[in-house]
Structure 1
Amino acid sequence: MHLVWLLAWRFRSDKRQNGFISFISASSTFGIGLGCFVLIVLLSVMNGFERELKDKLLSVIPHAEFKSVYPEGIENWQQEVNLLRKHPEVTFVEPYIKATGMLQKGNKMKAVEVTGLNMEFAELGILPSLVEEEQWQQFKADHNAVLLGAGVIEKLGLRVGDRVQILLPQLSSDLSLSAPKTLNLHVIGSIDLRGELSNHIGFIHMSLAAEAQNIENGAQGIRLRYRDPFTAPKLTREIGFELRPEVYMSNWTISDGNLYQDIQLVRAVVYLALTLVIAVACFNIVSTLVMAVNEKKSEIAMLKSMGAKNGLIVFVFMLQGTFNGLIGTAFGVLLGVFMALNLANIASIIEHLLGVQFLSGDIYFIDFLPSELRWHEVYMTASIAVLLSILATLYPAFKAARINPAKVLGH
């Protein structure tokens, strides 16, 4: 085995080697390293977006909603809430009423979706942590109070303490539109949820929303959050079929899942594309070794005439080609890991130097470039690169083993 290593390294580092072969060899090493580097960095960015989606956006919006099919709401919703609280995968449950209307301040109007909350349940949720303590206490005490998204307040030029009106559409007995219901509300505070969500959201008291929407049973539906939000599609169907009232079922992947689906799609495309880049770089190893075999025919023939077996020749050239894959993979993985672990800081420095912002908080739910390194993806990337490098050496290595010493040395 020592002889195999010695011959492989001697062939690879031979000073007399054709310059073009050296160039192709270096380009294959560079291509493999670049593919590993970019793949690790981009996968880490996708992981970072997924983590921020889970920790930020999905910590605010409900993971599932069960809305009554009847206009009067869910009968005995208190019992249903108590049953759902006992589910091992459910972390938070609350009743709600949702309505869409036009918020008006002077001659300015903005479409908003207001959610009526029960203060007893909302107190246990995340909403109190999104506003100042004083504002939350005022919101609880004032029956006509409203909390508005930061985007809504900016669009209408509102300030805390302003009085606004919201016009809610009403349906008559024959399901035709009648005169809208007008609610006079007191702006208590703003909620900055980042991104588009802050541009159309608002919260009011559930009792006020029930009165405005003519919901006799006090709650239009029930919404909840799970321990793992990515189990929402499966769990929502299971829970929905077990509920006694007839409800429409919805989960966050339907209402706000486009970003998550985009992340998964980009992850798959990136992995496929960059794996192909690594594969193409590995094909350069084939070219390098084929030319090296043709150049080293006399040395191979001498080795075989001295008693070298075909297996030794095969292993020598497989090892010579694998060197390129190992070196490229090692440099690519090390640089990729370093970049992935420090991407947020590096991106911040580049933003400061160029005077640009990669992600705007007005559009996205985060304003920085996230990254999360997952070691199993690093191991998989390195394994794929090394495996493709080894496979690329097979044809040239067996071609070298088939060289006939008599023909080569006889010329």
Structure 2
Amino acid sequence: MIFTPFIRFVAHRFVQSKQQDAYIAFVSKSSTFGVGLGCAALILLLSVMNGFERELRENLLNVVPHAELFSASADGLQPSLGFIQAMQDDPKIQYVFALNKASGLLQKGKQIKSVELLGIERDYFQEKFSSHFDYGVLETEPMGIVLGADIMQTLSLKVGDSVQVLLPKVTEDLSFQTSVATWLTVVGEVSIGGELDSFIGITSTATLTKMLSLDNHVTHIEMHMFDPFDAFEVVRQYGFNFDQAVYMSDWTRTHGHLYQDIKLVRAVIYIVLILVISVASFNIVSSLVMSVKEKSREIAILKTMGTSDSQIQKIFIAKGLYSGLFGATIGSIVGCLLAAYLSEVIAVLEMVLGFQLLDAGVYFTSSIPSQLSLSDVLLTYSIAIIISVLATLYPATKAANVLPSAHLH
């Protein structure tokens, strides 16, 4: 047993001593507050990073292609049934779609806006956009288009308006011909979040196939993985074995910067807040060093009564550990409560301040998400306790070196 009842009793008496110097008491309490504040902030911010990562996976990556093969020529792709079947049977791939995509321009009057067109079927809609709009609007209007919320706002469009779509036509020698212009009717609006709303346009497969004059060919083969991080490897596995020239792409190339930003911020948070806890722990060193000087007479009396140097060390380690334990425990509880109710707290702040903290047009979520992780809580608590224990070693050694003869007269 590291701390015997005798050691805990003496350490507790030193902590609760009414004769303790007021300045030493203040330094001790400030160290406890600093450790608690560091723990609460670290748990809260790590939960926010977990929340952003969850939103990235469940929101953005549910719509953005995990991986795709797309045609290197204007003639499109004509994958064999065996090739598609092999992809569908791959245990890493959740589902596969062959579809048409095209980059173009939207024009309304003198206003022009770039757009990425998707030509989709109902099964693709069910997997990707079922919670965003009703596919029936595209079935009702064959020449209909559903546009991102930012496009609608930029071009001052509303449902029922007509908009001209211009698609570039590229020849074999890479020279441009006159753009293909088609009038489409706006039948709906989609709001996904982030930059997607500023360029996405959705129409039916038949409409986009007709606009591209592809007949039975497609422009893209899109794959959705069970684990998004398999995308880089899988898309190259099938891309190199495809019997046509294709380009290969995955989400880490198009949106990987978001994930890297989350990882970078998480690492910075770890470093900064562990330093905050470490700085707070220096106050434990200061308070214990001053406490050793103040309690030198009591230490001398304990030694004359037979208390060993190792027991004196453990008494002061336990005394410093009380501050670390109390601060880490209170801070962890506060951090968990803030992380669990962060959305409610943010909602109250937004209502009081009168503005939205996150703009859905810039980020892929309109609110600050939070996902509390037990492993983060345990890691934070453990780090705080370890740093607190390390902070007590020097003062405890000084206490053990106190000479009774120098303090008993």
TMscore range, shorter length: over 0.9
Report the counterpart of residue 174 of structure 2 in structure 1: 175
Take 2:306 and 2:184, find their aligned partners in 1: how far apart are those partners?
96
Q: In 2, are the aligned partners of 1:128 and 1:136 still within 8 Å (CA)?
A: no
1:14 equivalent among 1, 17, 20: 17
1:60 equivalent among 55, 58, 63: 63
Structure 1, residues 149-173: CA drift from partner, whole Å, max 9, x if none? 1221222222323322111122234
Q: In 2, are the aligned partners of 1:163 and 1:186 still within 8 Å (CA)?
A: yes
Shift of 1:227: 1.6
Q: Where do residues 238-387 of structure 1 align in structure 2 (5 Å cutoff)?
A: 238-387=237-386
1:26 equivalent among 25, 29, 35: 29
Structure 1 residues 95, 67: closer, same or farther in 2, change over 3 A? same
Structure 1, residues 204-229: CA drift from partner, whole Å, max 9, x if none? 34454445445476112201211222
Take 2:122 and 2:342, find their aligned partners in 1: how far apart are those partners?
42
Take 1:339 and 1:252, find their aligned partners in 2: how far apart are those partners?
32
Take 2:177 and 2:131, find their aligned partners in 1: how far apart are those partners?
38
Q: Is the partner of 1:56 in helix, strand or coil?
A: helix
Aligned-residue Cα RMSD (Å) equals: 2.0
Q: In 2, are the aligned partners of 1:76 and 1:217 still within 8 Å (CA)?
A: no
Q: Is the partner of 1:178 in helix, strand or coil?
A: strand
Report the counterpart of residue 130 of structure 1 in structure 2: 132
Q: In 2, are the aligned partners of 1:72 and 1:216 still within 8 Å (CA)?
A: no
Shift of 1:67: 1.4
Give, as a single letter, the amino acid of the residue that structure 1 aligns with 2:5. Answer: H
Give, as a single letter, the amino acid of the residue that structure 1 aligns with 2:119. Answer: G
Question: Does the alignment pair 1:87 with 2:90?
Answer: yes
Q: In 1, are the aligned partners of 2:138 and 2:204 still within 8 Å (CA)?
A: no
Q: Is the partner of 1:125 in helix, strand or coil?
A: helix
Shift of 1:194: 2.1
Q: In 1, are the aligned partners of 2:37 and 2:331 still within 8 Å (CA)?
A: yes
Take 2:366 and 2:130, find their aligned partners in 1: how far apart are those partners?
23
Structure 1, residues 235-269: CA drift from partner, whole Å, max 9, x if none? 33344345444422211121122222211111110
Q: Identify the range of structure 1 (343-352 vs 313-322) with the bigger mean alpha-carbon deviation.
A: 343-352
Give, as a single letter, the amino acid of the residue that structure 2 aligns with 1:99. Answer: A
Shift of 1:19: 1.4
Take 2:339 and 2:200, find their aligned partners in 1: how far apart are those partners?
35
Structure 1 residues 170, 87: closer, same or farther in 2, change over 3 A? same
Q: Is the partner of 1:73 in helix, strand or coil?
A: coil
Give, as a single letter, the amino acid of the residue that structure 2 aligns with 1:138. Answer: T
Give, as a single letter, the amino acid of the residue that structure 2 aligns with 1:202. Answer: G
Question: Does the alignment pair 1:108 with 2:111?
Answer: yes
Report the counterpart of residue 401 of structure 2 in structure 1: 402
Take 1:227 and 1:37, find their aligned partners in 2: how far apart are those partners?
34
Unaligned 5+ residue runs, structure 2?
A: none
Take 2:218 and 2:228, find their aligned partners in 1: how far apart are those partners?
24
Give, as a single letter, the amino acid of the residue that structure 1 aligns with 2:30. Answer: S
Give, as a single letter, the amino acid of the residue that structure 1 aligns with 2:66. Answer: H
Take 1:350 and 1:124, find their aligned partners in 2: how far apart are those partners?
36
Q: Where do residues 205-244 of structure 1 align in structure 2 (5 Å cutoff)?
A: 205-213=204-212, 215=214, 218-244=217-243
Structure 1 residues 92, 197: closer, same or farther in 2, change over 3 A? same
Give, as a single letter, the amino acid of the residue that structure 1 aligns with 2:41. Answer: V
Take 1:242 and 1:293, find their aligned partners in 2: how far apart are those partners?
74
Shift of 1:129: 4.0
Q: In 1, are the aligned partners of 2:138 and 2:203 still within 8 Å (CA)?
A: no
Shift of 1:6: 1.0
Structure 1 residues 205, 134: closer, same or farther in 2, change over 3 A? closer
Structure 1, residues 82-132: CA drift from partner, whole Å, max 9, x if none? 221111222221112322211112232211111233x26525532344222
Q: Is the partner of 2:127 in helix, strand or coil?
A: coil
Give, as a single letter, the amino acid of the residue that structure 1 aligns with 2:102. Answer: A
Structure 1 residues 128, 9: closer, same or farther in 2, change over 3 A? closer
Structure 1 residues 150, 221: closer, same or farther in 2, change over 3 A? same
Shift of 1:134: 3.3
Q: Where do residues 180-195 of structure 1 align in structure 2 (5 Å cutoff)?
A: 180-195=179-194
Structure 1, residues 360-405: CA drift from partner, whole Å, max 9, x if none? 2233222222111001100000000001101111111111111222
Give, as a single letter, the amino acid of the residue that structure 2 aligns with 1:311. Answer: S
Take 1:123 and 1:58, find their aligned partners in 2: how far apart are those partners?
15
Give, as a single letter, the amino acid of the residue that structure 2 aligns with 1:250. Answer: S
Q: Identify the range of structure 1 (153-162 vs 383-392) with the bigger mean alpha-carbon deviation.
A: 153-162
Q: Is the partner of 1:233 in helix, strand or coil?
A: helix
Take 1:235 and 1:336, find their aligned partners in 2: how far apart are those partners?
40
Structure 1 residues 213, 70: closer, same or farther in 2, change over 3 A? same
Q: Identify the range of structure 1 (128-137 vs 34-43) with the bigger mean alpha-carbon deviation.
A: 128-137
1:4 equivalent among 3, 7, 11: 7
Give, as a single letter, the amino acid of the residue that structure 2 aligns with 1:107. Answer: K
Unaligned 5+ residue runs, structure 1?
A: none
Structure 1 residues 310, 128: closer, same or farther in 2, change over 3 A? closer
Structure 1 residues 244, 120: closer, same or farther in 2, change over 3 A? farther
Give, as a single letter, the amino acid of the residue that structure 2 aligns with 1:130. Answer: H
Percent identity, aligned pairs only? Answer: 41
Give, as a single letter, the amino acid of the residue that structure 2 aligns with 1:180. Answer: S
Q: Is the partner of 1:364 in helix, strand or coil?
A: coil
Structure 1 residues 360, 38: closer, same or farther in 2, change over 3 A? same
